[in-house]
């Protein structure tokens, strides 16, 4: 609430400048450096008491489990030890916490411990799955021939210095390229249809493509096997495998592109329509460029899923150890199927090759995923620094061009913008009409 | 009174580029639907041969010999669901705990890192999980199986006995079981479930969270009274989407199990089966009619995953709209 000094209100000089209601005594803001600043307190860290509770309970649980296993009772086995240690850790910890706190807090602490242990178990298991594959692949991967040769002249008993998976890499690249050549245009156009055209048929299309994400991959493979291989081509080929991958990837790409296009802010579309553009130009010049990074991410994630699919390829591509560049004739193996084929053999060298192939596949998927994260890290319409600078330079150029057009018009009565003559790209690095961050 | 002029038509005439655009996108949508309906119709047509021979007993018959006309997916469907239920028993506690951990406990950069890690794990190919299950888990989980079957044999499903009722203890009785396949499939579906649940939890309204904390509740009290009720749809939906994936998983299961064609209640004992593993195993040697029988099995699997997925996505969608009304 403002306190208004009545004596100042009467002065006419003030009235000339301000409305009387707004006159208020000045606020004194403290200058930095006037007040003493204490030591910064940590807000999140646990207290010494809480840390001791955890450490104490941990030591007590390990001690108790070790005593029970092998000293007091006839219990044996590492698994049982872990189970007993975990249960007794929870018991000791709740006992220690309950010394200082009430029941609510004890329950809170126990649940926090359980949540953290679920996370630790899950992440260590998942990281272990990946690390195990890469460690077991260390036998096969260091040999350069592993990625430059094929298995054509190599038998199961040959050492790892012979033979490689070049044919599987080539097969994967060809199959996924054919699948992408169909999936990208068809999938993105369908997603545009769902979002920009709409209507009852679009809803039907969306329902059907959602349903197809439930299609088990082996059934997709079986469909291609029965419909294309048995009826038309009568032989397994890379093309048939690519068809099976297409049936698997198409719904994934449609669904994720649909989500991305829905995130494009409506006011951008409306601005474009208000400028009198057609639907097609709005989609091509506004919607798709805005969603570009998201669409790329959708495609890359679909590719990562498609590359790893084994079961549709198992039925359709056929198994070979020969390099085959022709997708329409002859069997053409791919990386996941090659893994499956290698580890069926009991020979240690073949199993090592299987792990090596799996590691190559895994690194491929990890690489694709990292690229997708780098591109798709930001939402639609958010630009990187380089893109922002480019857009700023382009709009500064536009300003100059418009100013030139305006000054070149003979009609002298047209009011020139006052600042237009002085504007040049160098003098105004930050023009006013920068693209704004979209309000989500 | 002004004269009423003739009413103008408000319908706009689309420009040529627009009508081309509209017809091109419509064609793309129609092609997509065409491909997908072709899959469904083709499966149904080819499956109908086998289904008309087998009749309703297709769902309960345990043997699989289409050549003699005695075939059904009783045992196979049972195995599929056994593996999926074990997978869910492994996956649900892990997914729920991790989703709550990511959305409620950790913060800052660690949260972003864990979210990326979960998404990355969802993209790891299933053949990699299969390799891990076959070469590492198979050997290391047998002591656990033996431990469970020793101490929990009074629960019928954990008993491991041979045909004459004697208790089996040797390691070879525990390999290639539904239990091992279930653990691997469970780990595969955890990332999917975690990311859906985490998304649902993070949409729990801030106002209600702060209200609970301001009333003096602990973090767990807040989670129990605000986050879990608001995220219930996400929990159910995420679980069911994971279930759909678990039912259709092929290659990891195929690598681990040893296929049998009888109903096996003892989940720790060697031998189980699943629809997708059956298709992968038998498609090559199948005759025309045998292929039709496999198609019928695939069709049943497809219908089941379809129902599961649609139920799940409708539950997720409904819960989201509910969370926004606060």
Pull the structure tokens for residue B322: 């509910």
Asked whether residue A296 is assigned to any structural domain, the reply reads yes
Task: Give the separation between CA B278 and CA B64, rounded to whole angstroms.
Answer: 10
Q: A312 and A231, same structural domain?
A: yes
Asked whether residue A5 is assigned to any structural domain, the reply reads no
Q: Which of A153-167, A264-278, B78-92, B244-258 has the lowest mean pLDDT?
A: A153-167
Task: Give the separation between CA B284 and CA B281, rounded to whole angstroms.
Answer: 7
Identify the pLDDT of residue A180.
93
Pull the structure tokens for residue A195: 């979002």
| Partners of residue A308 in chain B, C-beta under 8 Å | 123-128
ipTM, 2 decimals?
0.84
pLDDT band at A410 (very low <50, low <70, confident <90, very high): low
B64 forms bridges with which residues in the sheet?
B71
Taking Cα atoms as reference points, which of B155, B179, B163 lies closest to residue B268? B179
Q: How far is A98 from chain B (nearest CA, A)?
A: 15
Identify the pLDDT of residue B181.
92
**Residue position matching structure tokens 């004697």:** B166
In the predicted model, what is the mean pLDDT of residues A303-330? 86
Q: Which 116-155 residues of chain B touch chain A by CB within 8 A?
A: 116-117, 119-121, 123-132, 134-136, 143-144, 147
pLDDT band at A330 (very low <50, low <70, confident <90, very high): confident
Identify the pLDDT of residue B304.
92
| Partners of residue B196 in chain A, C-beta under 8 Å | none
Identify the pLDDT of residue A382.
64
- Whole domain around residue A349: which residue ranges? 166-376
Asked whether residue A401 is assigned to any structural domain, the reply reads no
According to CATH, the topology of domain B80-321 is: MetI-like fold (1.10.3720)
Identify the pLDDT of residue A15.
44
Q: A284 and A356, same structural domain?
A: yes
**Taking the mean position of all CA atoms in its chain, how far away is CA B203?**
24
Taking Cα atoms as reference points, which of A316, A337, A302 lies closest to residue A151? A337
pLDDT band at A44 (very low <50, low <70, confident <90, very high): low
Low-confidence residues of chain B, pLDDT below 70? 1-3, 319-326
By C-alpha distance, the chain B residue nearest A306 is B125
pLDDT band at A58 (very low <50, low <70, confident <90, very high): very high
> Are residues B39 and A247, on separate chains, in Cβ contact within 8 Å?
yes
Q: A119 and A186, same structural domain?
A: no
In the predicted model, what is the mean pLDDT of residues A201-230? 87
DSSP A329-369: SS----HHHHHHHHHTS--HHHHHHHHHHHHHHHHHHHHHH
**Taking the mean position of all CA atoms in its chain, how far away is CA A396?**
34
| Residue that is last in its domain, among A94, A116, A136 | A136
Q: Of all residues in chain A, what percent carry a pLDDT higher than 70?
A: 83
Asked whether residue A251 is assigned to any structural domain, the reply reads yes
Q: Of all residues in chain A, what percent carry a pLDDT higher than 90?
A: 25
Q: How far is B326 from chain A (nearest CA, A)?
A: 19
In the predicted model, what is the mean pLDDT of residues A155-183? 88
| Residue that is last in its domain, among A352, A376, A400 | A376
**Beta-carbon neighbour count of residue A375 at 10 Å?**
16
In the predicted model, what is the mean pLDDT of residues A306-332? 86
pLDDT band at A157 (very low <50, low <70, confident <90, very high): confident
| Partners of residue A126 in chain B, C-beta under 8 Å | 117, 121, 124, 187, 190-191
Q: A120 and A176, same structural domain?
A: no
Asked whether residue A268 is assigned to any structural domain, the reply reads yes
Pull the structure tokens for residue A133: 């594959």
| Residue that is last in its domain, among A88, A121, A136 | A136
Q: A214 and A67, same structural domain?
A: no
Asked whether residue A402 is assigned to any structural domain, the reply reads no
Q: A54 and A197, same structural domain?
A: no
| Partners of residue B310 in chain A, C-beta under 8 Å | 210-211, 214
| Partners of residue A281 in chain B, C-beta under 8 Å | 17
DSSP state of B12: P
CATH number, position A233: 1.10.3720.10
Collect all residues with Cβ–Cβ distance below 8 Å to A171 and sequence separation of at least 6.
A238, A317, A324, A332, A333, A334, A335
> Are residues A205 and B33, on separate chains, in Cβ contact within 8 Å?
yes
Identify the pLDDT of residue A178.
94
Q: A181 and A80, same structural domain?
A: no
Taking Cα atoms as reference points, which of B184, B239, B201 lies closest to residue B111? B201
Pick from B21, B119, B131: CB nearest A279: B21
The answer to whether the CB of B32 falls within 8 A of the CB of B41 is no
Q: A171 and A118, same structural domain?
A: no
In the predicted model, what is the mean pLDDT of residues A119-143? 90
Asked whether residue A273 is assigned to any structural domain, the reply reads yes
pLDDT of A164 higher than 50: yes
Q: What is the mean pLDDT of chain A?
A: 81
Taking Cα atoms as reference points, which of A147, A132, A179, A160 lies closest to residue A360? A147
Q: A10 or B121, which is more confident?
A: B121
Identify the pLDDT of residue A438.
45
In the predicted model, what is the mean pLDDT of residues A102-127? 91
> Are residues A204 and B247, on separate chains, in Cβ contact within 8 Å?
no
| Partners of residue B26 in chain A, C-beta under 8 Å | 193, 197, 201
| Partners of residue B143 in chain A, C-beta under 8 Å | 77-79
**Beta-carbon neighbour count of residue A112 at 10 Å?**
18
Q: A63 or A2, which is more confident?
A: A63
Q: A195 and A267, same structural domain?
A: yes
Q: A435 or A309, which is more confident?
A: A309
> Are residues A190 and B97, on separate chains, in Cβ contact within 8 Å?
no
In this complex, is the C-beta atom of B32 within 8 Å of any C-beta atom belonging to chain A? yes
How many domains does chain A contain in total? 2
Pull the structure tokens for residue A379: 């939402």
Q: A210 and A102, same structural domain?
A: no
Identify the pLDDT of residue B323.
44
Task: Give the separation between CA B62 and CA B244, rounded to whole angstroms.
Answer: 23
Q: A223 and A105, same structural domain?
A: no
Q: Which 321-340 residues of chain A touch chain B by CB within 8 A?
A: 336, 339-340
Q: What is the pTM of this model?
A: 0.80
């Amino acid at each position: 609430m403002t306190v208004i000094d009545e004596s100042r209100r009467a002065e006419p000089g003030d009235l000339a400048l301000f409305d009387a209601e707004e006159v208020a005594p000045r606020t004194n803001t403290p200058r930095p450096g006037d007040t003493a600043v204490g030591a910064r307190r940590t807000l999140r860290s646990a207290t010494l008491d809480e840390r001791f509770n955890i450490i104490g309970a941990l030591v007590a649980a390990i001690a108790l489990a070790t005593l029970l296993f092998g000293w007091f009772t006839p219990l044996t086995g590492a698994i049982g030890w872990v189970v007993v240690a975990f249960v007794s850790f929870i018991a000791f910890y709740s006992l220690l916490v309950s010394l200082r706190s009430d029941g609510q807090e004890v329950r809170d602490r126990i649940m926090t411990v359980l949540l953290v242990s679920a996370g630790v178990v899950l992440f260590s298991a998942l990281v272990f799955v990946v690390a195990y594959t890469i460690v077991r692949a260390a036998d096969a991967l260091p040999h350069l021939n592993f990625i430059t040769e094929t298995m054509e002249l190599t038998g199961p008993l040959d050492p790892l210095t012979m033979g490689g998976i070049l044919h599987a890499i080539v097969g994967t690249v060809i199959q996924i390229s054919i699948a992408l050549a169909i999936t990208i245009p068809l999938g993105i156009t369908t997603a545009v249809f769902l979002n920009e055209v709409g209507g009852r048929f679009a809803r039907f299309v969306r329902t059907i493509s959602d349903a197809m994400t439930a299609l088990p991959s082996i059934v997709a493979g079986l469909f291609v096997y029965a419909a294309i291989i048995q009826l038309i081509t009568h032989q397994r080929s890379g093309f048939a495998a690519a068809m099976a991958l297409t049936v698997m990837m198409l719904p994934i790409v449609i669904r994720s592109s649909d989500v991305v296009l829905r995130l494009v802010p409506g006011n951008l579309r409306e601005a474009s329509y208000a400028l009198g553009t057609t639907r097609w130009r709005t989609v091509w010049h506004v919607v798709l460029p805005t969603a570009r990074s998201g669409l790329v991410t959708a495609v890359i994630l679909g590719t990562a899923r498609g590359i790893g699919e084994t079961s549709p390829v198992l039925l359709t591509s056929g198994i070979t150890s020969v390099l085959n560049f022709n997708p329409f004739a002859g069997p053409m193996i791919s990386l996941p199927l090659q893994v499956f084929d290698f580890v069926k053999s009991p020979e240690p060298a073949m199993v090592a090759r299987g792990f090596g192939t799996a590691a190559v596949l895994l690194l491929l998927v990890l690489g694709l995923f990292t690229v997708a994260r780098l591109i798709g890290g930001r939402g639609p319409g958010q630009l990187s620094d380089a893109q922002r600078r480019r857009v700023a330079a382009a709009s500064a150029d536009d300003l100059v061009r418009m100013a030139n057009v305006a000054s070149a018009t003979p009609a002298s009565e047209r009011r020139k913008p006052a600042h237009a003559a002085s504007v040049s790209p160098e003098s105004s690095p930050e023009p006013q009409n920068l693209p704004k961050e979209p309000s989500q | 009174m002004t004269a009423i002029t003739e009413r103008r038509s408000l319908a706009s005439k689309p420009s040529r580029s627009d009508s081309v655009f509209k017809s091109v996108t419509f064609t793309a949508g129609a092609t997509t639907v065409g491909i997908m309906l072709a899959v469904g119709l083709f499966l149904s047509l080819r499956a109908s041969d086998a289904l008309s021979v087998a009749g309703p007993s297709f769902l309960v018959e345990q043997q699989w010999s289409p050549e003699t006309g005695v075939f059904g997916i009783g045992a196979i469907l049972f195995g599929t669901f056994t593996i999926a239920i074990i997978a869910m028993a492994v996956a649900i506690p892990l997914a729920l705990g991790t989703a709550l951990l990511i959305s409620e406990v950790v913060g800052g950069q660690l949260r972003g890192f864990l979210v990326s890690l979960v998404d990355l794990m969802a993209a790891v190919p299933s053949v990699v999980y299969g390799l891990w299950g076959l070469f590492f888990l198979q050997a290391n989980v047998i002591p656990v199986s033996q431990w469970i079957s020793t101490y929990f044999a009074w629960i019928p499903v954990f008993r491991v006995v041979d045909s004459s009722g004697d208790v089996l203890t040797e390691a070879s009785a525990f390999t290639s079981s539904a239990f091992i396949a279930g653990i691997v499939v469970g780990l595969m579906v955890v990332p999917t479930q975690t990311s859906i649940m985490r998304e649902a939890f993070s949409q729990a309204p801030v106002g209600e969270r702060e209200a609970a904390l301001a009333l003096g509740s602990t973090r767990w009290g807040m989670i129990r009274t605000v986050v879990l009720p608001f995220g219930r749809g996400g929990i159910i939906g995420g679980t069911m989407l994971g279930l759909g994936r678990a039912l259709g998983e092929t290659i990891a299961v195929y690598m681990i199990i040893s296929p049998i064609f009888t109903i096996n209640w003892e989940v720790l004992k060697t031998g189980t089966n699943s629809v997708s593993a059956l298709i992968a195993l038998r498609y090559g040697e199948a005759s025309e009619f045998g292929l039709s029988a496999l198609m019928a099995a695939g069709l049943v699997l497809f219908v089941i995953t379809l129902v599961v997925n649609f139920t799940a996505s409708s539950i997720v969608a409904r819960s989201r709209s509910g969370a926004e009304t606060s």
